[in-house]
A and B are shown apart, each in its own frame.
Chain A
Amino acid sequence: MWGETELRRIAEEALRQADGDSAEAVIVARTGSLTRFANAAIHQNVSAVEAGLRVRVVRGTRVATQATDRLDAEGIAAVARSASELAKIVPENPHFGGLPRPRPIAPAPSSFVERTATASALDRAKAVKRICDPAKAQRLRAAGFVATNVQEVAVASTLGTWAYSPETTSEVQVAAIGDAGSAFAHRVSLDFGTLDVSGAAEEAIAKAARAQGPLDLTPGEHEVILEPYAVRDIVAFLGQQLTGLAVEEGRSFVAGRLGQKITGPVTLVDDPFDGDGLARAFDFEGQPSDRIALIEDGIARAVVYDSATAHRTGNRNTGHALFPNAFQPAAAMHLRLEPGTRSREELIRGVRRGVLVTRFWYTRWVHQLRTVVTGMTRDGTFAIEDGEIAYPVKNFRFTQSYHEALAGTRDIGRDLALLLPAESFGIQASSQRVPAIHLASFNFTGATAY
């Protein structure tokens, strides 16, 4: 780890050398270690130390950024100089409102656990063995990964901004694969010592045993129970549209509908202070992140903003800037779909005829404005009959409006799963906590032969 003192020194040195009206430095330093296994053996096992400095220089309404991972004196000087030179010749952006001024950042629960930061390759390999051995005993092939990550995020500006957050995550994903069916499980913990590796293995192995020999089930509208791994996808896609930019560009399903009923009885919040998630109280501009109710009991309430979009559209900056990029300046990074009261088994018991979906795969927009998404089911799809999991079924393709699916929310699970989306720009920017849900209808538009 670099530590707050060293990252602050680097940031301040970059800002000192920047030549402009104002400047900002963002540093993300990571040590990412991931042990990957397939066919019941480790086949890829990596560890990388990375730290990147991104300098944004402002001259009037001219703005330029330059990134480097050379953090010695020469590298810091070079990146500051290059961004400064570029800022002199970049055409003006008359809509730019300046770098955000510093605001007080409320304390958030710590997201750093020493035990994760010190986990070794052997620790991860032993965890893998705790998955592969029981899978082999059940004549299943295990595949997946065990990972530990240490990340430090620091933001500084010549206006006086300073924000720093050290973070750790550990993660296990397991696919248990038989000759005629597979199943999946996923666990995340900030603390590698409490990462439920055995629980993930048991879940995947037990479900895979039931998933063998799937039968045909006719595609069409089916009542569904979605496990949290599938619900995560819905939350992520809707989250993309719950931003000020999506509203400005006319591609959000809540544009012009704030205050209106848009789903069934679900509440979706972005909570940077959620101590059971990956808490971080500030965004990648060093602004305090607000806790925001995006959808409240089905009513669209709010969207999130970064400073530039907020300025341009005349809205309040909610402190949700992502790591600087051209296409998605802001995002809800701590999404939580509020839980209900039912256990998973109780949810299943509430379905007379329906489908249990473990997870979705390769989901893509078909029609953003209507939140229509297509994708596949994967790794454990089952028919439910009379409140019981009856038999495995072959995987479906679906084409479904996600927010319209939530309009048919019948029940929500009580247990929240902490899940991490794939990294974005090499950064673990966000986490999600989601329950299983029971939906009245989901549109399956095709099926596979497996």
Chain B
Amino acid sequence: MTWRHERDLARRALDTARTRGASYADVRFVRRATEAALVKNGRIENVDRGDTAGFGVRAIADGAWGFAASQLATAEEAQRVAALAVEIAKASAITKLADVHLAELAPAVATYETPVKTDPFALAFEERIGLIVAAEEALRAQPGLRTTRARYAIQREEKLFLSTEGADIAQVLTECGGGIAAEATGNGELQIRTYPDGLRFQNAGGWECLSEWDLTMNAPRVAEEAVALLSARTCPQDVRTTVILTGNQLSLQCHESCGHPIELDRALGTEAAFAGTSFLTTEMLGSFRYGSDEINIRIDSTSPRGLGTFGFDDEGVPGSEGWAIKDGTFVGYLMSRETAAALGMASNGTMRADGWSCLPLIRMTNVSVMPGRAGTLDDLIADTDDGILMDTNRSWSIDDRRLNFQFGTEVGWEITKGRRGDMIRNPTYTGVTPEFWGSCDAVCSEGEWVMWGTPNCGKGQPGQAAHTGHGAAPARFRGVRVGVVR
């Protein structure tokens, strides 16, 4: 995409914003193409394509923020929307306590594109749909299933960002994902197994991000486990034991109990009414003991395949890498230019918006638990006398300061004397964030580490969904409270 027309409109919008009194303004044009398909119980349930394009203008006037957006890409509309953003900013100023101040930033003129091996949009449609048709058919070979599903989703987002500071950044971000799911019902139970991670697995990259998982080959195991869960033992009730979480479950644990509390807007109280605040308050930065020495969590928008990987965030700040938790100590927030300035720091580039119509917010980029030295999952199980292995999230809930959590997984297995034993159904565990991460005594090695993704992270009002990346390997936690389903 050349963006010639949009760049012209963006400059007109910036001119209008300045003329109307903005001390700062930026314009984002976004075009997003999507395709998703779902095969269910042997039928094509849904094939859905989308194409959305528009622009948003963010302005500071009278020391306060305004934002307006529209889908009509005309000169008149660009000027109207820019003027409206300034008008809204001036209205915001009637409650202002202090002027908005942005951390310094050298404006970039640059481009970025997600590395892609196989362009999913260039593949024949028959090849895309064929992959999930075959995988879903392989699930149905297993007797006793009630519902079988296979899904893929592909997305390409093209973005142009211009600011009154002189930034001019064009990016192309491509994502691809999907999965399979088998459900069985009986004995008052509904049990599900999925692969590789619900139906929501997604990565930045091309079709290879999905095809490499070999859904069809894994379908018989997934289907068999779903049926076996109906007659599996129920999770022990309200006991404390050792828990090993597989990588995909640990990735969501990290998302909820580390990724969100390190959002600086939460810590500063600006999400207090909705998403909540954070137990990681600013005076804790650099000293608070978040977890055991085994815990190293990285903030990184440069990781290959991460859904939070990009060239620049939606404020024009370049992608970066750093630490959130180093050797168990809390050392870094996710920041915007405004919140970083409040701490006298520079932004680490985490502002992202859900399309053209939304305001950029602090969002997780790739917040990943780094691998440890515990070898493979089999090694870790062999090193564990007694406990439960839990795999793939099914239920998740955490309080508004990100302390008290409760998770459920699709399946568990008893671990006895270093061996994986009987299957366990309805496994759940609960805890308090720093105590839980403090109980971690082993994280598997790099060979087990996978870049997982969360393509549905909700935040903001109006609500926005962000795509975030979370690398993780299996890890072991001691003395965890397990089994809280009545």
Measured CB to CB, the residues of A under 8 A from B are 32, 34-52, 63-71, 78-79, 82-83, 86, 89-96, 120-122, 124-126, 128-129, 132, 141, 143-145, 147, 173-175, 177, 182, 184, 249-251, 324-327, 361-370, 372, 374-376, 378, 395, 397, 399-401, 422-423, 443, 445-450
Tell me if B397 and A125 are in contact (CB < 8 A).
no
- Which residues of B in the span 248-293 have a Cβ within 8 Å of any Cβ on A? 268-274, 276
* Interface: B477 (CB within 8 A): no
Tell me if B461 and A141 are in contact (CB < 8 A).
no
* Interface: B54 (CB within 8 A): yes
Tell me if A66 and B461 are in contact (CB < 8 A).
no
- In the assembly, what is the distance between CA of A446 and CA of B69, in Å? 43
* Interface: B408 (CB within 8 A): yes
* Interface: B70 (CB within 8 A): yes
B316 to chain A, nearest CB (A): 19
With A90-B47, A249-B146, A366-B395 known as contacts, the answer to whether A446 contacts B273 (CB < 8 A) is: no
Q: Can you list 29 contacts pairing A with B, beta carbon distance less than 8 Å?
A: A39-B270, A39-B272, A40-B95, A41-B97, A42-B92, A42-B95, A45-B67, A45-B88, A46-B359, A48-B69, A50-B69, A66-B51, A68-B50, A70-B53, A90-B47, A93-B43, A249-B146, A250-B146, A250-B183, A250-B190, A326-B36, A326-B45, A365-B395, A366-B395, A366-B428, A369-B185, A374-B395, A376-B399, A395-B399
Residue of B129, B401, B486 most packed against chain A (CB within 10 A): B486
- Which partner residue on chain A sits nearest B256 by CB separation? A362
Considering only CB atoms and an 8 Å cut-off, how many residues of chain B contact the other chain? 77
Tell me if A86 and B46 are in contact (CB < 8 A).
no
Tell me if A50 and B359 are in contact (CB < 8 A).
no
Tell me if A177 and B272 are in contact (CB < 8 A).
yes
Tell me if A93 and B88 are in contact (CB < 8 A).
no
Measured CB to CB, the residues of B under 8 A from A are 36, 38, 43-54, 56, 64-72, 84, 87-89, 91-92, 94-97, 125-126, 129, 133, 146-147, 151, 183, 185, 188-190, 268-274, 276, 357-359, 395-401, 403-404, 406, 408, 426, 428, 430, 461-463, 484-486
Q: Which residues of B contact A51 (CB under 8 A)?
A: 71
| 3 closest cross-chain pairs (CB), A and B | A143-B273, A250-B185, A121-B91
A164 to chain B, nearest CB (A): 20
Residue of B38, B48, B67 most packed against chain A (CB within 10 A): B48
- In the assembly, what is the distance between CA of A296 and CA of B401, in Å? 39
Q: Which residues of A contact B403 (CB under 8 A)?
A: 448-449
Q: Which residues of B contact A96 (CB under 8 A)?
A: 43
- Which partner residue on chain B sits nearest A252 by CB separation? B190
Q: Which residues of A contact B56 (CB under 8 A)?
A: 48
Tell me if B183 and A362 are in contact (CB < 8 A).
no
A126 to chain B, nearest CB (A): 7
Tell me if B269 and A39 are in contact (CB < 8 A).
yes
Q: Which residues of B contact A41 (CB under 8 A)?
A: 95-97
- In the assembly, what is the distance between CA of A447 and CA of B432, in Å? 10
Q: Which residues of A contact B269 (CB under 8 A)?
A: 38-39, 141, 143, 177
With A38-B271, A128-B95, A376-B397 known as contacts, the answer to whether A45 contacts B89 (CB < 8 A) is: yes
- In the assembly, what is the distance between CA of A395 and CA of B404, in Å? 10
With A39-B269, A41-B96, A86-B47 known as contacts, the answer to whether A369 contacts B71 (CB < 8 A) is: no
- Which partner residue on chain B sits nearest A368 by CB separation? B190
A369 to chain B, nearest CB (A): 5
Q: Which residues of A contact B68 (CB under 8 A)?
A: 46-48
- In the assembly, what is the distance between CA of A375 and CA of B408, in Å? 12
Contact of B67 among A46, A92, A447 (CB under 8 A): A46
Tell me if A49 and B71 are in contact (CB < 8 A).
yes
Tell me if B52 and A68 are in contact (CB < 8 A).
yes
A71 to chain B, nearest CB (A): 8
With A250-B185, A364-B396 known as contacts, the answer to whether A65 contacts B49 (CB < 8 A) is: yes
B315 to chain A, nearest CB (A): 14
With A34-B462, A91-B44, A397-B406 known as contacts, the answer to whether A141 contacts B49 (CB < 8 A) is: no
- In the assembly, what is the distance between CA of A189 and CA of B111, in Å? 46
Contact of B272 among A69, A120, A126, A175 (CB under 8 A): A175
Residue of A83, A94, A122 most packed against chain B (CB within 10 A): A122
With A48-B56, A93-B43, A175-B272 known as contacts, the answer to whether A362 contacts B485 (CB < 8 A) is: no
- In the assembly, what is the distance between CA of A368 and CA of B146, in Å? 15
With A249-B147, A326-B45 known as contacts, the answer to whether A47 contacts B461 (CB < 8 A) is: no
Tell me if A362 and B398 are in contact (CB < 8 A).
yes
Q: Which residues of A contact B484 (CB under 8 A)?
A: 374, 399, 445-446
Tell me if B71 and A141 are in contact (CB < 8 A).
no
Q: Which residues of B contact A42 (CB under 8 A)?
A: 64-65, 91-92, 94-96
